[in-house]
């Protein structure tokens, strides 16, 4: 039984930001935190410990994969692990963004 796209919807806000960041290119964990905060103007944040567990979960479920990329300059500290979005991850993210578009559109049609 294959994983269905809809089985992962709705995405958690943090997962959505992780996938959006990875859709722009491979990234490593620590930098993903900054991307998430930047993209959400600081509204969506995540504990660094929870981040790595979230990345493990997204890998386990096939939405992302470790890219194997290594830094040309192996400096700075503990070796970075780079992640890439998978085709399935792109599918799920696209479906989630459609859901959000419809939600926003629905809210615009209502009195506030």
Contacts with its own copies in 17-36 (CB under 8 A)? 20, 23-24
Tokens of 74: 């192996």
For position 41 contacting its own copies by CB under 8 A, the verdict is yes
Tokens of 52: 């790595």
For position 4 contacting DNA by CB under 7 A, the verdict is no
For position 16 contacting its own copies by CB under 8 A, the verdict is yes
List CB contacts of 27: < 8 A, sequence separation 6 or more: 21, 35, 82, 83
For position 75 contacting DNA by CB under 7 A, the verdict is yes
For position 99 contacting DNA by CB under 7 A, the verdict is no
40 binds, among DNA, its own copies, none (CB under 5 to 8 A by kind): its own copies
SS3 at position 64: strand
Cα–Cα distance, 86 to 91 (Å, whole number): 9
For position 79 contacting DNA by CB under 7 A, the verdict is yes
What DSSP line would sit under 72-93, residue for residue?
A: SS--SSSPP-EEEE-HHHHHHH
Binding residues vs its own copies (CB under 8 A): 6, 9-10, 12-13, 16, 20, 23-24, 39-41, 43-44, 90, 94, 97, 99-104, 106-107, 110, 112
């Amino acid at each position: 039984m294959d994983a269905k796209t809809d089985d992962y919807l709705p995405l958690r806000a943090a997962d959505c930001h992780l996938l959006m960041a990875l859709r722009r290119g491979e990234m490593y964990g620590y930098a993903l935190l900054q991307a998430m905060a930047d993209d959400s103007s600081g509204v969506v944040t995540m504990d660094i410990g929870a981040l790595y567990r979230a990345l493990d979960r997204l890998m386990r479920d096939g939405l992302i994969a470790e890219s194997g990329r290594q830094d040309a300059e192996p400096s700075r500290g503990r070796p970075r692990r780079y992640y890439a979005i998978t085709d399935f991850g792109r599918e799920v993210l696209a479906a989630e963004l459609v859901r959000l578009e419809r939600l926003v559109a629905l809210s615009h049609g209502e009195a506030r």
